Amino acid sequence: MQNLAFEDSSYKFGVYSSSGKLLLGSEKFRESSEHAELAKQLDIKRSALYAEVRDNEVLLGCSLLVKILKGREERAVFIKCFPDEAVTQEPNWINKFYTDAITQTEELQSIKYQVIGLWKEGDILTLSSLENPVNPPTCLERKVLSGEQVSVWTHDLSGGISLLAYLIFKLKSVLVPSFSFALSLYPWNTNISAGPGEFDFDFTLEGGEILSYAVDKNANSEEMLSQIQKDGIKEQKDILDTNNLPGSNYSKARYVNRKKDKVEQRTKIVIYVCNFFLLLLLVLKFLLLIVGLLLLIIRLLLLSKISLELTFP
């Protein structure tokens, strides 16, 4: 039997603009502004799922791609608290979270929104039937329980949400309050961070399979990208394509172009320095011209004086 608080969609929720303004919320959200800064961060990091363990409850949040009816695309943020007993092994509670996110956001009276996605248009429709990932390694749980930060590289939205939902259920009873999880486009300094932007990662998630990814932490970005490609992990490159991610400037060439960007930066610095010295030379040349003119005037004055003395001895 499902918990009544779980069925009550009004249980501590808030809908925010991307700037952190509360657009709609339950009484506890209206009385406090503590979630405004979190809403801003959810939008900045483009979080498909954020979770934070609290006393007797779990706070969930996500950034939503929305479209004003007959208008432009924007982003909104949905945050909701679930009582501990609502978080079960079955993914019904996480499905309900996204259902409530869509319902509450689209029922706003101040502005008419249509929710169209999380990371890109249409991807939220793939969340209708989430499943737990296949055989999460015990070493992942051990790293979490030992207090280490865990990074998981994945472009699989449904798989990433399922993984976090599984870990929240499995570990919530032993985790300290404020322990946080995040599945985002951009890396976040949470206890567990997952997404396609993870760089110094510990695990990979692909096709429902979680693998430990033991690489040298000092390896450079190109070596790591090469290894990822050899392992056949990065098959769907479009998740990092700016053309397929409305509102995102995240580049799929983030790693490959890092060295090119550094060269471009150095070139710009050299150009700036050269321009500075050219400007300096022009200023010096102008000053020398002024000095030359002054000397010429003085010479003319002296000649004029000598001429007058010769004329009128």
Q: Report yes or no: 85 and 112 within 8 Å, Cβ to Cβ.
A: no
Task: Kindly state the average pLDDT of the residues 43-53.
Answer: 94
* Predicted local confidence at residue 312, as pLDDT: 61
pLDDT band at 129 (very low <50, low <70, confident <90, very high): low
- pLDDT grade for 67, boundaries at 50, 70 and 90: very high
pLDDT of residue 40: 93
pLDDT value at 239 more than 80: no
C-alpha to C-alpha distances, 20 to 63, 75, 114, 165, 232, nearest whole angstrom: 11, 11, 19, 25, 39
Q: What is the pLDDT of residue 11?
A: 67
Query: What would the pLDDT profile of 68-109 be if each residue is shown by its tens digit?
Result: 988 889 999 999 998 888 888 887 888 889 999 999 999 998
User: Band of the pLDDT at 6, cuts 50, 70, 90?
Assistant: very low
Rounded to whole angstroms, the Cα distance separating 53 from 174 reads 10
Q: What is the mean pLDDT of residues 128-150?
A: 77
User: 226 or 145, which is more confident?
Assistant: 145
**Backbone conformation region of residue 247, classed left if phi is above 0, alpha if psi is from -120 to 50, else beta:** left
Residue 158 and residue 126: Cα distance in Å, rounded?
7
How much is the pLDDT for 206? 84
Query: Of 198, 250, 231, which is closest to residue 44 (Cα–Cα)?
Result: 250
Please tell me the predicted confidence (pLDDT) of residue 253. 41
R_g of the chain, CA atoms, integer Å: 30
Which among 9, 8, 10, 113 has a CA at the least distance from the CA of 64? 113
pLDDT value for 104: 93
- The confidence score (pLDDT) of residue 226 equals 53
Q: State yes or no: pLDDT of 247 exceeds 60.
A: no
Model confidence band, residue 207 (pLDDT cutoffs 50, 70, 90): confident
pLDDT value at position 31?
A: 72
Beta strands 180-184; 47-54: pairing state = antiparallel
pLDDT at 132: 60
Residues 61-86, buried b or exposed e (16+ Cβ, 10 A)?
bbbbbbbeeeeeebbbbbbbbbbeeb
Catalogue the E-assigned strands of the chain: 13-17, 22-25, 47-54, 57-68, 73-83, 113-117, 150-153, 180-184, 192-195, 203-206, 209-212
Using pLDDT thresholds of 50, 70 and 90, give the confidence band for residue 266.
Answer: confident
Return the amino acid letter for 98.
Answer: Y
- Please state, rounded to an integer, the average pLDDT across all residues of the chain: 78
Percent of the chain with pLDDT over 90: 28
Residue 262: the pLDDT is: 56
pTM, 2 dp: 0.66
Whether the predicted pLDDT of 49 surpasses 70 = yes
What was the pLDDT predicted at 259? 46
pLDDT at 126: 78
**How many C-beta atoms surround the C-beta of residue 200 within 10 A?**
14
